[in-house]
Amino acid sequence: MMSQNAIPLLDLTPEIEMLWDELNAAFQSVLRSGRFIMGPQVHAFEAQVAEYLNVKHAVALNSGTDALVIGLRALGIGPGDEVITTPFSFFATAEAISLIGAVPVFVDIDAQTYNLDVTLIEEKITPRTRAIVPVHLYGHAADMAPILELAERHNLKVLEDTAQGFGGEYRGLKLGAIGDAGAFSFFPSKNLGAYGDAGMLVTDDGSVAEMARKLRTHGSLKKYHNEIPGYNSRMDTLQAAILQVKLPHIQAFNDGRRRVAAAYRDLLHDVPGLVLPVEASYACHVYHQYTVRITIGRRDAVQRGLREAGIATQVYYPVPLHRLPVYSALNYRLPAAEQAAEEVLSLPIWPQMPAEAQERVASTLRMLLR
């Protein structure tokens, strides 16, 4: 347990205090309505997200994981199909592929952005390949133009894993609205976070949206008229109401994260052995995480030192997906992802992070790496 003056990885209390009256009113409204699942706030939130992202359809779901599973199925991906994705992501990215009976095919990452190395994708395409799932990791856009070009040339679907990138952009386009569909998580720690589990699938394709709506309610669009096996993946009304309160503030929240990232850059740019995150010219990074690299094998020692100083950090991710027990038999060798897993460390970041907290993180890091 951290001391009272500890610095957490994420502090949601400033956001909650700022929005308290609106959040409380939203909660009371749902409570008094008695409509706790798929109430009117859910449909209103879908419409608001569709407008924000400039897409035709937004389908509210129970979680980001469900958004990936349902998104893949709605795009026609199924058993035996191969789906190209990154080995450097949360397990749900590959898990969703496996859950529908498809096979994840891992492609190594770009060492600077931590996203798919687009130069390595084409060599992994086979006659069984049906889709590509790029991840916009840490809030930084994957390089979508080459991915879309490959997908068009090989007749593949593209499902964006945008769990960490709500509000981020690629060449002026909102992430999640670029491929055939985009999957979002509203887990509480996300840039746009609920106060429980929630997710969403967005698309411009009406048939994909209809299939997603069918799959979220046990394979039916009409109650008790089930057409296919589906899921119980409806969004709670309370979560939609909370997200409705927060959505109008997402730009300000993301701008706050970018300000914190810029301050870190000023404070840490000259620390030996520390590699700071980059922002490619095509991206508007929204810094779901502020992830540095600590080289020459010192990451774990530095993390211990920060913990002893009362500063929380996290390793996203300590084991690349291809080395997890579930996939280790595939015998991949992906050196960039493997090295990243040994070196990355995510520092505390939230939109309202005080300057003095950042200065303490930076001075402690500097001391540990001298």
Q: Classify 363 in phi/psi space as left (phi over 0), alpha (psi -120 to 50) or beta.
A: alpha
- CATH 3.40.640.10 in the chain, residue ranges: 13-248
pLDDT of residue 1: 40
How far is residue 222's CA from residue 350's CA, in Å, rounded to a whole number? 42
In tens digits, what is the pLDDT along the chain, a chain of 370 residues? 445 589 999 999 999 999 999 999 999 999 999 999 999 999 999 999 999 999 999 999 999 999 999 999 999 999 999 999 999 999 999 999 999 999 999 999 999 999 999 999 999 999 999 999 999 999 999 999 999 999 999 999 999 999 999 999 999 999 999 999 999 999 999 999 999 999 999 999 999 999 999 999 999 999 999 999 999 999 999 999 999 999 999 999 999 999 999 999 999 999 999 999 999 999 999 999 999 999 989 999 999 999 999 999 999 999 999 999 999 999 999 999 999 999 999 999 999 999 999 999 999 999 999 9
How far is residue 340's CA from residue 317's CA, in Å, rounded to a whole number? 8
Residues 6+ apart with CB under 8 A from 279: 140, 285
How far is residue 28's CA from residue 287's CA, in Å, rounded to a whole number? 32
How far is residue 358's CA from residue 345's CA, in Å, rounded to a whole number? 15
| Consecutive H or E run containing 252 | helix 250-268
| Whole-prediction pTM | 0.97
- CATH 3.90.1150.10 in the chain, residue ranges: 250-368
pLDDT of residue 5: 87
pLDDT of residue 2: 44
pLDDT of residue 301: 97
Pairing relationship of beta strands 344-347 and 169-170 according to DSSP bridges: unpaired
CATH for 13-248 is 3.40.640.10
Instruction: Report the candidate in 227, 164, 218, 160 with the shortest Cα–Cα distance to residue 190.
Output: 164
pLDDT of residue 172: 98
User: Two tokens at 1?
Assistant: 């347990």
pLDDT of residue 196: 97
CATH for 250-368 is 3.90.1150.10
Pairing relationship of beta strands 157-161 and 129-133 according to DSSP bridges: parallel
Distance of CA 67 to the CA centre of its chain: 11
